[in-house]
Amino acid sequence: MFGLDWSDPQTLWLNLTNVGLGIVTLVCVGAVAYNVASELWIRKHATETNDAHAMHVPELGWTMADGGEPVDAKNPEQKKSR
């Protein structure tokens, strides 16, 4: 395969390491491609009432990725009440 001597015991470990690293690289590229496609899909199908980065956790309520409060679409100058 590609001019490599798979039966040479001096280079077998190097060839196997390269194959393993190639597989790991392909898995990582696949994971990045999946996450980019997922993010684009979420942004395309998100609505104003459905925040793409909000998650409902019953014990915590609605949590957001940036840790902030959702801004009311009717009043964009909404201030946090603390």
Alpha-carbon distance 15 to 5, whole Å? 9
- Domain range spanning residue 34? 12-64
What is the per-residue pLDDT for 20?
Answer: 96
Q: Where residue 39 falls among pLDDT bands split at 50, 70, 90?
A: confident
Domain annotation covers residue 71: no
Residue 3 is assigned to a structural domain of this protein: no
Cut 0.75: pTM above it: no
Cα–Cα dist 52/73, whole Å: 15
Tell me how far CA of residue 63 lies from CA of 18, 29, 53, 76, in angstroms.
Answer: 43, 29, 9, 19
Please tell me the predicted confidence (pLDDT) of residue 26.
98
Please give the average per-residue pLDDT across 14-36, as a whole number.
95
Task: Count structural domains, the chain.
Answer: 1
